[in-house]
Structure formats: structure tokens, C-alpha cells
Chains A and B, each alone.
Chain A
Amino acid sequence: MSSQPEELHDVRLHVNGSVHEVRVPARRLLSDALRHDCGLTGTHVGCEHGVCGACTILVDGTPVRSCLMFAVSAVDAEITTVEGLTEADGSLSPVQQGFSDCHGLQCGFCTPGFLTTITAGLRDNPDPSEDEAREMIAGNLCRCTGYQNIVKSVMRAAEIQRGES
């Protein structure tokens, strides 16, 4: 290991429709770049080994664990974080609203990863059964809610998204 300063890379990250120009070493995790270089601290880091799902973001619309990806690998991608889920007029997205309606969160730490995952999930399957809702969130850990109300939130979000209130 050398004590030389690390080589830095200029990276343009496209996040939530904005461009963030950051200068980072090659090893900088995308999660850290989003949080600490772009200031988008809504993405949370729960395990740093891709198991808990708290850091899940959308990369070109697909859920990705941002702790398993380097910032330099994300140059050509369109990234959506929890901050980018809110509607243009500032109102909550159907998924966010579903969580609010159903008490789908407690401490809120895992929530951003669930919101992004479900946003993508409902795009693929706008009318899930309860079993499919469980499947949709089966890769994310939550220690507070026991998942009961998260499943309800998915069903509620689908309902809102379909225009049934």
C-alpha cells in the first residue's frame, strides 16, 4: 500500500434529473458519493455488503444496492434516489403515500430502500397480490415494523397508482 495520495476521478452523476460533478477515488462507493459528495443523505447504508437493502436506488429504473457499486461505474446512468421519488409539485408519490397511509415505517432508516424497490416493483406489476407484494420486498430488511404494514403499504400504493382511492 502506498502513502501516495490516491488518484481522483472527475465523475458526472445524473441524479434525480440533476447533474452532480464530483471528484472521487476509484474505490468510492456510490452510496458514499451520493450521501457525502452529492449531499443526498436520504439513501441510507445499513450493512455495506448488499444484504439489507437500505441503500437501494434506481439505476436506469432498476433497483441497485448503491453500497455494491462504485461511483465511477455510474457515470452513464440515470440515478433515482428517495429524494427523487416525490412528485414534481412536491406531493408524495403513490408509494410514499401508501407508506404514510398504512404506518409502513417507524424509525425510517430502511424506508428509502423499500420505497425505491417498490417504485420499480409496481412499475413491473401494477396490481400485485399480497403474495406478490411480499415477494417484491423480500430482499429488504426492516427491524421495526415486522413488515405487516409494509405489505399493506405496497397494496395501498398500487391502489393509489391505479387511481382507486
Chain B
Amino acid sequence: MTTKLFGAKVPRVEDQRFLRGQGRYVDDLLHDDPRLLHSAVLRSPHAHARITDIDVSDVLDLDGILAVWTWDDLTGPMAEPLPLLIPHPTLTHGRTQYALAKDEVNYVGEAIVFVVAVDRYVAEDAVSRIRVSYDHLEPVVGIDAARAAQRLVHDDVPGNVGARMEQENGDARAAIAAAPHVLTLDLDIERSACTPMEGRGTVARWDPDTSRLTVWSSTQTSTGVRGCVAAKLGLDLAKVDVVTPDVGGGFGVKVVHPWPEELLVPLAAMTLGRPVKFTEDRREHFISSAHERAQQHHVEVGFDDDGRVLGLDVEFWHDHGAYTPYGLIVPIITSTQLLGPYKPQNYRVVFESLYTNTVIVTPYRGAGRPQGCFVMERTMDAISAYLGKDRTEVRSTNFIQPDEFPYEHGLIFQDGRELTYDSGDYPASLAKLKELVGWDEFEDFRAEMAAQGRRVGIGLACYVEGTGVGPYEGAHVHIETSGKVKVATGLTTQGQGHQTAFAQIVADTLGVRFEDVEITTGDTRKMPYAVGTFASRAAVMSGSAIHLAALRAKEKALRIAAEALEASEEDLEIADGVVSVRGTDATIDLGTVAVLSNPLRYAFDEASKAATQFSVGDPGKPPVAEDDEPGLEGKDFYSPPRSTFANGMHAVIVETDPETAEITILKYAVVHDCGHLINPMIVEGQIHGGVAQGVGGALYERMAYDESGQLLNASFMDFLMPYVTEVPTTIDIDHLETPSPLNPLGIKGAGEAGVIPSAAVFAAAIEDAEGFPITAMPISPSELFDLRLAHADESHPLSEETR
């Protein structure tokens, strides 16, 4: 009998190639092709300028230079602005850049000239010899400057406002006015970024014999890239294949498409008739990919004596950088997911999405949720402090209760659907978290530490995460005559272990050996209908689609096997790839069923003889029945009515050094509920990674733009990504498995969760240690030290927040 694999800690199959140095990332491809060309991009050194002249005369005759493109050399759709991927009615002033800058540059790093050469070194030499003349314009850097609007990023966008959006459920302002207690808070989050270890990269090869273009890209959406490349280069979709090889991390940034280079590389490959590669370097990744997180928030909250929120009014300002290719997804997520596990009686949210002369802003793991969580959890902590109540008690008072699901918030979510939570058990999660972190024992610990002259604090933060957004994913399952099972799903993989987790699902659903299942992701030749890997959606969407497709294949296998074994389908079972009739010795393996599924004229080996025309079939009927098709395959799609909502709660105990203000993590605890776990080992790995990224975001990482729009820390020397020395030595994890009713496997997404509550939970713990409010994150020891000085004379630091 086949062991059930769903839910087991199955070791990852992809590890074998990665550990042997046999992974194939985009920069590894075609390295042995002597015709391969390389590219480099001249990028704007200025945050805001008009281009008056581009002089490439010095490089055209350089040895090893094949071609140079500026905007003037682009024609047709390539000369038009890049697509605005997700339009929204409130995005009244959406703007996107050109593949190569036309007349104006709006951030340091914007692409201006594209050079193709025999190698990257020569291409970079050429870039350094191109002369561009600029008329400088005053840059708009940071949310304050954008809001002040004394200068404009785009002349035709008044006030630098790309969008203003408002949603309301109930009457928040009236409820606040009538509430017994009111607090206001101003809360800020700075910029950060995904920074995967592998940057962006694209390789393209044009085959003149077949007039086909193959593009390999380090992307989170192969089908998205394919659609854009075909449209921009004027090719039929059928002439373009996009393949996503191994990807060295994404975390959101690689869902943006098409990057300028993702179009220019295929254009160059077609023009020059040779394969062309672009591999981004680290500085380029900092200044010409995408960032996220920067927002300012103003909160007004009215509540009763128990801390029950009666009205919540949130206004916030989102820095979306110089252009809006990804629409309003990040601020919409903040504005809706801010609510977390709570049910304020009345809620109003308004945001403005603002232009600045900085790198574009698109989703980074968490995608607006870390900011929303920070706002809501800081508010809960402020209410608790004001009322003198335990922070877990105020949260409990506001929780949506288990019997209230499905819970409708009366708002529209990022997918254009109602914000309706499907399931969860927040009181149970909180009970687990308190136990895990030792919440009730903390005051003893604090006293013990204080006796040693040490200062500690504890914080917690809760979140709800809409995962598995639509519109759909699909899967194709093919059982070969060898009994091997080949599965294709269209979304991509960037380290999540899809080849393992999806194979676990197939092995269980179909009743085959795990090692006989091979999963292909992100290859438009195998599955041209797909969306992509983002929003913690892969397990929910493709996992469900693969399950459904495997069921289709199984149905067919049982039908054919029943005929061959002269048994009833109900009496059959499949295990380890063998169909057997229960209670008898009669069996047939799936490979043979696959042979029988495909009536043959020609035998190609011993086994296939069984399917030839003189061996099988009723001579009175067509070999393939009217409503049937040859082959043992199953194909299906999964398209849910709406997202499924995972949730979790984190707690942290920190120590702050009384002298240096250094912040040390003593304990980190996570309670996580993503429904049924396919592979707990992989889910825990995702949580570990998210927590580490969250530690970076809370305590170390930020984008240090100066007032002229130069990114001062555009390297791993200066952008402080955590090493092992900065992360907690252990992360205690406990799971709750509240299944989703929305998909056949009861699963919810897990990819982003670990990073969502970090800013909130660290702010809470540091505040608890220090006794004054923490309203802006990230926080460095220097900033904490400055806050200590600022609060040194205040006896009741929280009172300044009340009115």
C-alpha cells in the first residue's frame, strides 16, 4: 500500500541538482554557445532630468560591439510605454516607463541605452564611453516631498498623486465621534526590497529555421513574459516560448514584467540572429529593479472601556516610485489586510499613491501587509496601554470568532472580490502563542532580568493573509507507457520546492510512487495557460489544479483498467502504480493501462504490441470512442471564487542594551495556520526565511536615498541584509490546521506569512522594553538611542498620543 505523502516531511527532489552544482539558472544557460552575445545597459545617474542628447559615436566602431539601441532606434509597440499591468479605476494618473528612456528620466537607474557585445566586460566598457547630456530637474524624494508637491515628478500629474482610493464599511467617523475613548497615531515604514541572491536575467534565442523565439527569464510569471514579448515584438503568441529555469529567489520583484531588458534581449536576438543574454549585477538590482514598503499612516480609533474598536479611520500615503507598472496592488492590500483578525464595527480607509523620483514600487513578500499589520497592531497596543489592559486581552475582545466564518468585511480585496475570510480560529492561535512564548510568565522574567540590570520587552502581532488569489492555475498529468508520470503546471518556481510538494499530491491522488512523478513548472511549451507565483498562491492554485488533473487521469485509468480486468471500477484500487481488483490477484500496472489507452497501428516495443489493431478493440466500434481521446492524461484548472485567508501570530522577546541601545532577540515564537500542510518541512523553511527577512526589515534594512535621489547604500556592504549572526538562534513554531473550504485539499498559502508581522512585533517588544512609543520602523540602535534622549524627561510617554 502506498504511504500517504500529503502532510509528510518528504525530502526535496530538487536538492540533488542544487547540491551538486547542477542547478541551471538563467546566467548558466548557453554558456557553451560561441555565438552567445552579452549586454549592458546605460542607466540614468540622475533622479530627474531631461535628456538633451545621446552620443554613441565613440562606441559604434569599438572592437566587440555588435549593436547599440536608444529609444530613437525602437519602432512600433517597442517605442510605446511599457504596459500598465494591473489597471484600476482609481489609478487616474498611471504612468509607465519606456523600454529605453524617451526625453526624460525619473529615477537613478532608469534604462537609457542598451549595448550588445561579445562579452559583458566589453559591453560595460562601451556603456562608460557613451555621452548623454542632461538638463537637470529638481527631484522629488520621499513621501514628505511628494505630498508637499512643490515639484512634480510628471508634469501632467498634479500633486504627484497617481491614485486616491477610499473604502468604508459603516460610518467610521461618526462612530469615533461617539466613542468613549479616542486615540490618534502617526506610523511610518521605510523602503526596503526583496534582494534575492540572484538578480534579474534574460536569455533569448531566435531560430531562423522555424521562425521561433525562445526566451529564458528569471521571472515569477512565464506566461506574463510571453504575452508581453509577443505583443511588443509583434510576434504571434504561438511563435514565442518562455521558459523559466531555476530561479535564485524572487520574493515578489520578479513578478514585474516585462523589464526593459526582457524585451530588449529578444529584440537584439532577433535583430542580430544570435543568442543574447542580460545578467543584472548587484548594483543594478538595487537601482533598477523594484522596492517596497514606504508608507506614512495616520490612524484615528474610537473604542469602549473593554478596548473594543467601535470606529477605525486610517489615512495613508504610499510611495510608489517613478512609475506604476503594477498598479495599486500594494496599497490596496494594506488598506484591506490591515484589519487582520479583527472586526472593527466601522472602518474607513483612504490612501493616496504618490510619485517620487525613485525606483518603482511593486510587491515584496508580504506586499503591503507588513505595513497594515504594523498599523493595526500598534493601534491595539496603544489601546491596551491607554486602558491599562493586557495586550492579548484587547486583541481577544476584537477577534472574529470561529463561529463567525465566512466573515464579510464589506470591502473589496486586491483581486476585485469581496473581502470575505473563509476560516480560522484566532482564539486558539492566541492561546498557542501565549503558551509557546511564555506570555503569562514574562513579568517574572522581566523582574529577574531587571535584577541583573538587563532590560527586556515582549511583543506580539497578529495577521491575516489573503492567499491563493485567482484567476486560475492549471495542470496536465500524463502517465507514460513506462508508468512514469509527467506533470506540468504553468506557474514558476523560485525555491519553494514545488517539484517535491506537487509530486506528493500526485503520488497520493493517483496512487503512484513519488519517485515516478516529475513536475515541470514555468514552461509555456508544456502549459501555456497560467498566471504566476506570487501572493502565496502556488500551493493553493497549482496544488489544487494538479490534484484535479490527477483525478481526471485516475478516472480514465480506472475505466480502461476495469475493461481490461473485466471488473467493476468500484472494485479497483491503485497503489504504487498498480491497479488491482480488491480481494483478487488480478492486477494491471498503470504503464500497461497507458499502452491500452492509445490504440496503435505501429508497435515500437514489446509492451506496445498489446495496443496494435489486431490485438485490441471491438472491430464493430471506432478505436477511440466519440467522447474519448487517446492517451492516459488528465488536465484540469482550478479557479476559486475568492482568496483563502491564512493567519498567524508572532511573539518576540528582545533585550535592549541600556548603554548602547543594541537590540538582541532572546526568543521568537510563531503560531501559523495555513490549513492542511502538504510538507511541514517546506512550510517551516518558508517561515524561517520570512522571519529572517522580517528581522532585516525591522532592524537593519532600508533604502538610504539622499535628497538628490541617489541611493547611497546600493550594495550588500551597505544594505544590511541579515547574516546568520542577526537572526534568532531558534524560531519556535506551532501549527494550527484550519482547512480552507474553498479548495479540494483544504490548503492555504504559506510563502509570505513569516515576514508580515515583523515590524509590528519588534516595535511592540522594543516599546515594552523601553516604555515609550515606537512609531516608525525599521529602528536602528542609533535611532533607539535618540528616542531615549527625546523621552528622557517624560514621565508618561504614552500620554502624548492621547487626546
A residues contacting B by CB (< 8 A) are 1, 3-5, 25, 27-28, 32, 35-36, 39-49, 51-52, 54, 81-83, 85-86, 92, 96, 99-101, 103, 105-112, 115, 130, 134, 137-151
B87 contacts partner chain A, Cβ-Cβ < 8 Å: no
Q: Is the interface of A mostly helix, strand, loop or mixed?
A: loop
A46:B685 contact, CB within 8 angstroms: no
B689:A146 contact, CB within 8 angstroms: yes
Chain A residue numbers with a CB within 8 Å of B379 are none
For the complex, give the distance between the alpha carbons of A68 and B262 in Å: 29
A149:B724 contact, CB within 8 angstroms: no
User: What are 11 inter-chain pairs, A to B, with CB distance below 8 A?
Assistant: A3-B62, A4-B63, A36-B31, A52-B197, A81-B21, A107-B198, A108-B17, A134-B724, A145-B685, A147-B692, A150-B724
A147:B724 contact, CB within 8 angstroms: yes
B197:A44 contact, CB within 8 angstroms: yes
A54:B197 contact, CB within 8 angstroms: yes
B723:A108 contact, CB within 8 angstroms: no
A47:B716 contact, CB within 8 angstroms: yes
With CB as the reference atom, state the residue of chain A lying closest to B21.
Answer: A42
- Which of B24, B27, B129, B497 meets A106, CB within 8 Å? B497
A47:B715 contact, CB within 8 angstroms: yes
- Which of A5, A111, A149, A151 meets B63, CB within 8 Å? A5
With CB as the reference atom, state the residue of chain B lying closest to A54.
Answer: B197
B725:A108 contact, CB within 8 angstroms: no
B688:A145 contact, CB within 8 angstroms: yes
Stretch at the interface among B241-249, B408-416, B548-556, B582-590: B241-249
Min CB–CB distance B274 → chain A (angstroms): 16
B56 contacts partner chain A, Cβ-Cβ < 8 Å: no
B19:A96 contact, CB within 8 angstroms: yes
Chain A residue numbers with a CB within 8 Å of B197 are 44, 46, 52, 54, 107, 109-110, 141-144
With CB as the reference atom, state the residue of chain B lying closest to A137.
Answer: B724
For the complex, give the distance between the alpha carbons of A115 and B19 in Å: 8
B23 contacts partner chain A, Cβ-Cβ < 8 Å: yes
Chain B 664-697, CB-CB to A under 8 Å as 1, else 0, gives 0000000000000000011011011111110000
A27:B121 contact, CB within 8 angstroms: yes
B21:A83 contact, CB within 8 angstroms: yes
Chain B 15-30, CB-CB to A under 8 Å as 1, else 0, gives 1111111111101100
- Residues A145 and B689 in contact in the complex (CB < 8 Å), given A41-B21, A49-B717: yes
Chain B residue numbers with a CB within 8 Å of A35 are 27-28, 31
B731 contacts partner chain A, Cβ-Cβ < 8 Å: yes
B195 contacts partner chain A, Cβ-Cβ < 8 Å: yes
Min CB–CB distance A135 → chain B (angstroms): 9
B725:A134 contact, CB within 8 angstroms: yes
Report which residue of B120, B251, B282, B715 has the largest number of chain A beta carbons within 10 angstroms of its beta carbon: B282
B19:A92 contact, CB within 8 angstroms: yes
Chain B residue numbers with a CB within 8 Å of A112 are 21
With CB as the reference atom, state the residue of chain A lying closest to B62.
Answer: A3
Chain B 483-524, CB-CB to A under 8 Å as 1, else 0, gives 000000000001111000000000000000000000000000
B14 contacts partner chain A, Cβ-Cβ < 8 Å: yes
B32 contacts partner chain A, Cβ-Cβ < 8 Å: yes
B18:A105 contact, CB within 8 angstroms: yes
- Residues A82 and B196 in contact in the complex (CB < 8 Å), given A3-B63, A108-B14: no
B717:A51 contact, CB within 8 angstroms: yes
B121:A28 contact, CB within 8 angstroms: yes
Min CB–CB distance B475 → chain A (angstroms): 22
For the complex, give the distance between the alpha carbons of A4 and B62 in Å: 8
B716:A141 contact, CB within 8 angstroms: yes
Chain A residue numbers with a CB within 8 Å of B495 are 106-109, 144
**Top 9 A-B pairs, shortest CB-CB distance:** A42-B21, A107-B495, A109-B248, A108-B18, A146-B692, A146-B688, A82-B21, A41-B28, A106-B495
B691:A103 contact, CB within 8 angstroms: no
- Residues A143 and B196 in contact in the complex (CB < 8 Å), given A96-B19, A107-B249: yes
Report which residue of A28, A47, A82, A137 has the largest number of chain B beta carbons within 10 angstroms of its beta carbon: A47
Min CB–CB distance B576 → chain A (angstroms): 24
- Which of A25, A44, A48, A99 meets B19, CB within 8 Å? A99
B496:A106 contact, CB within 8 angstroms: yes
B482 contacts partner chain A, Cβ-Cβ < 8 Å: no
B32:A144 contact, CB within 8 angstroms: no
With CB as the reference atom, state the residue of chain A lying closest to B63.
Answer: A5
Chain A residue numbers with a CB within 8 Å of B19 are 82, 92, 96, 99-100, 105, 108, 111, 115
- Residues A42 and B724 in contact in the complex (CB < 8 Å), given A100-B11, A108-B14, A109-B249: no
For the complex, give the distance between the alpha carbons of A115 and B725 in Å: 18
With CB as the reference atom, state the residue of chain A lying closest to B754.
Answer: A146
For the complex, give the distance between the alpha carbons of A46 and B191 in Å: 22
With CB as the reference atom, state the residue of chain A lying closest to B58.
Answer: A3
- B1-46 residues at the A interface, CB under 8 angstroms: 11-12, 14-25, 27-28, 31-32
- Residues A146 and B690 in contact in the complex (CB < 8 Å), given A41-B28, A108-B14: yes
Q: In the complex, given contacts A45-B27, A108-B18, what are 13 additional A-B residue pairs having Cβ atoms less than 8 angstroms apart?
A: A40-B21, A41-B24, A42-B20, A42-B22, A49-B282, A85-B21, A92-B20, A99-B15, A140-B723, A143-B196, A143-B689, A144-B495, A147-B724
A103:B690 contact, CB within 8 angstroms: no
Chain A residue numbers with a CB within 8 Å of B27 are 35, 41, 45
Chain A residue numbers with a CB within 8 Å of B237 are none
With CB as the reference atom, state the residue of chain B lying closest to A37.
Answer: B31
Min CB–CB distance B751 → chain A (angstroms): 11
Min CB–CB distance B24 → chain A (angstroms): 7
Chain B residue numbers with a CB within 8 Å of A96 are 19-20
B281 contacts partner chain A, Cβ-Cβ < 8 Å: yes
- Which of B23, B689, B715, B717 meets A108, CB within 8 Å? B23
Chain A residue numbers with a CB within 8 Å of B693 are 143, 146
For the complex, give the distance between the alpha carbons of A1 and B689 in Å: 45
B61:A3 contact, CB within 8 angstroms: yes
For the complex, give the distance between the alpha carbons of A1 and B194 in Å: 37
- Which of B248, B282, B723, B730 meets A48, CB within 8 Å? B282
For the complex, give the distance between the alpha carbons of A83 and B19 in Å: 9
B137 contacts partner chain A, Cβ-Cβ < 8 Å: no
Chain B residue numbers with a CB within 8 Å of A3 are 61-63
B125 contacts partner chain A, Cβ-Cβ < 8 Å: yes
- B228-252 residues at the A interface, CB under 8 angstroms: 246-249, 251
